[in-house]
């Protein structure tokens, strides 16, 4: 099979995987793979040029969008909906130990939870802080 076809297949696979994860990181890798495929069409047989092109494109897109995202998040009027979870009550769904995450249900959603306390299934908790994908919780009232 031609190397350009392999790059395009890898790009398509990464694009599909991105649609399932919605992180944007796989999207940049997919665009890098497609760019490498284009280079493979122009310069056949130069796997080094193809790989370097794909890697540089993916790296530049990642770096550029990180900065752009940071600026967007600091702009006036931006509010992350996850921030609204702080102060809400939840119920422990899966045992939480200090240093080991568990599961908490807040509203109708389940989240990974961490705590400085040991929390058992069914205990009522309060969300005190948030990470990117985790909530820090403590026993309600304590």
DSSP 20-79: HH--SHHHHHHHHHHHHHHHHHHSTT-HHHHHHHHHHHHHHHHHHHHHHHHHHHHSTT--
The string of pLDDT tens digits covering residues 46-91 is: 889 999 999 999 999 988 887 777 776 666 666 666 777 888 999 9
The string of pLDDT tens digits covering residues 4-58 is: 999 999 999 999 998 987 677 789 999 999 999 999 999 888 889 999 999 999 9
Instruction: Go through the domains of the chain in sequence order and give each one's CATH number.
Output: 3-74 (no CATH), 81-139 (2.40.50.140)
Q: Per DSSP, what are the bridge partners of residue 100?
A: 97
Tracing tokens 């399932």 back to the chain, one arrives at: 20
- Report DSSP state, residue 14: H
The string of pLDDT tens digits covering residues 95-131 is: 998 888 999 999 888 999 999 888 999 999 999 998 8
Distance of CA 40 to the CA centre of its chain: 30
């Amino acid at each position: 099979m031609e190397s350009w076809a392999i790059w395009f297949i890898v790009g398509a696979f990464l694009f599909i995987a991105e649609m399932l994860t919605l992180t944007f990181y796989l999207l940049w890798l997919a665009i890098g793979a497609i760019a490498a495929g284009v280079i493979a069409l122009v310069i056949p047989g130069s796997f080094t040029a193809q790989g370097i092109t794909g890697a540089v494109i993916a790296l530049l897109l990642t770096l550029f969008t990180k900065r752009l995202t940071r600026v967007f998040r600091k702009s006036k009027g931006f509010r992350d909906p996850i921030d609204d979870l702080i102060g809400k009550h939840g119920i422990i769904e899966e045992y939480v130990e200090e240093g080991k995450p568990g599961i908490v249900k807040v509203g109708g959603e389940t989240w990974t939870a961490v705590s400085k306390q040991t929390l058992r299934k069914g205990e009522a908790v309060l969300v005190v802080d948030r990470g990117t994908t985790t909530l820090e919780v403590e026993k309600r009232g304590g």
